[in-house]
Amino acid sequence: MILNGVQPQKSMKQQTYIAPIQVMNNQLDLIAKIGTEKQKHKRVFSHSQSWKTISLVACLLSTGILTASCGSLPKDTAEAQSQSGSRERGGATPVDVAIARTGILQKELEYIGKTKPFRTVSLRSQIEARLLSLNVDVGDPLKKGQNIGQLDDALLLTSLKQAEAELAAQKSEVARAATQVSNARAEVERMRLEVVQAQADSKRQQKLYQEGAIAQQTAEQARTKAQTTAQALRAATEQVRTEQQAVAAAQGRVLAQQAVVAQAKERRSYSRLMSPINGVVTTKAKVADKIIEPGDLLQAGGEVIQIGDFSRVKVVVEVSELELAPIQVGQTAKVRLDAFPKKTLIGRVTRISPATDDNTTLNLPVEVVIPNSESNIGSGLSARVIFENQTPPRVIISQTAIKKAATSKQPSASETAKSQSQEINGTLFVVTDTGGKSKVAARVVTLGKKADGKVEVLSGLQPGDRYVVRSGKPLKDGETVRLSILSETAESNSKPRGNRN
């Protein structure tokens, strides 16, 4: 340290050392003043006490000089040391680097709904009768055509027997009419033979009359008989047609009665309750506010049970009209059930309701159908549905990576207007390895939508390109950079990277 006020060497500026020198001189003046006062007013002090006081003041003086000297380190010297350290590290600017990847910018919305059977069938009684038995309960699986209950069919059986008896009578009438037709045909054949015989006799009698062998009256009688026989033949032929029509009418009555019998049989079959589909019993009906039981009287059209088809499962979610535009029929969706949190199912939108369930909300029901090949998904389970975005994946980067192009001159008014009109364009720095060093290159990219601190890159950047997210200072094209420990590398795929020299 310099105590005699001599100026330092050229590497240190004079104005930097004014403060410590003044402090030192003031402290020396204070010591001298203290010494003079002690000689005038405190000569009674012992020699040992004076020595201790002087030693203490000297220590304080030395401490003050050292503190002032160390605290007033020249700024240029500190900057020189910093620059020297930077030169030792190669002079590269530290930057955080990320790898461009594709993705979806907009966050996928999750909707909560409930599972339902793909279809629900209500099994109802088709006749009014007393329930004799019911063989199923809620949760029981059913097969199509399976008998699940029986109704009282005593009256139906009586009606069926009556119809069958009437049918037998109608068939007997048909048989009688058919016999009449056969008899009429036989009579026609007999009359035909008589006509032939009468015509032959008339011709012979006419020949004998012409020869004078018989009287005229005899010849005329033979001719009259032939004509009468021909008339009888025509009448018999007409009788055959009449009997045939009677047979046809009787057959019609038989067909009608057969329909009555079939109807009676069908109505009797209604006494057997059959499952119309493959499914599971979901609910049992109530009669007078109690679950239906054998012995209850069922009205025609009264519900017995409900059967759900769980070969596929339907999930219904409420979607706001503001979020409905990107959802379309046939679109795929991811469905996750709270009952099976580790399993994700792929469903398909089958229906978008054109109207809300009520007039108090603006949400529209959307139905998504998912497979249920294992038949382990029931009704009423909580489901979370995410509709897959139809927008193709694009390169997504952080908005902090977008920089303005560095220029050495002020932009003109026309350039400013042009940049404002092209707001979708931006500039970022891409990192490339050249000669074992990492350098940056400015690149103009076309930007798309922005959300949550990220932005879409429509063109100018490819997946896998490395780009600068942030840097210690403004970068220039071609500048050498040093990757920070937060940087991503292609080898580690988003693992931290150490410093590069």
Q: Are residues 408 and 370 in the same domain?
A: no
Tell me: pLDDT of 365 over 60.
yes
Q: Are residues 188 and 210 in the same domain?
A: yes
pLDDT confidence band for 63 (50 / 70 / 90): very low
Angle ∠(451,456,461) on CA atoms, nearest 5: 150
* E-assigned strand segments in 338-403: 340-352, 363-371, 382-387, 394-398
The strands making up 297-298's β-sheet, listed across from edge to edge, are: 272-274, 147-151, 129-134, 297-298
Helices of type H across 212-312: 216-269
Q: How many domains does the chain have?
A: 4
For residue range 3-48, list pLDDT tens digits in order. Answer: 343 343 333 333 333 344 444 445 445 544 544 444 444 443 334 4
Calculate the CA 165 to chain-centre distance.
62
Residue 275 lies in a domain: no
CA distance 163 to 258: 8
> What is the pTM assigned to this prediction?
0.54
Residue 408 lies in a domain: yes
Q: Are residues 398 and 383 in the same domain?
A: no
Percentage of the chain beyond pLDDT 90 is 30
For residue range 330-347, list pLDDT tens digits in order. Answer: 999 999 999 998 899 999
CA separation, residue 478 to residues 88, 104, 425 (Å)? 20, 32, 21
For residue range 116-162, list pLDDT tens digits in order. Answer: 999 999 999 999 999 999 999 999 999 999 999 999 999 999 999 99
- Please tell me which of 104-118, 164-178, 186-200 the model is most confident about, judged by mean pLDDT: 164-178
Looking at residue 17, what DSSP letter applies?
G
Q: Are residues 191 and 259 in the same domain?
A: yes
What CATH number did the domain enclosing 460 receive? 2.40.420.20
Q: Are residues 221 and 317 in the same domain?
A: no
pLDDT for 29 equals 55
Look at strands 480-483 and 93-99 and give their pairing. Answer: parallel
Tell me: pLDDT of 91 over 80.
no
Query: Which structural domain range is residue 401 located in?
Result: 94-104+394-483
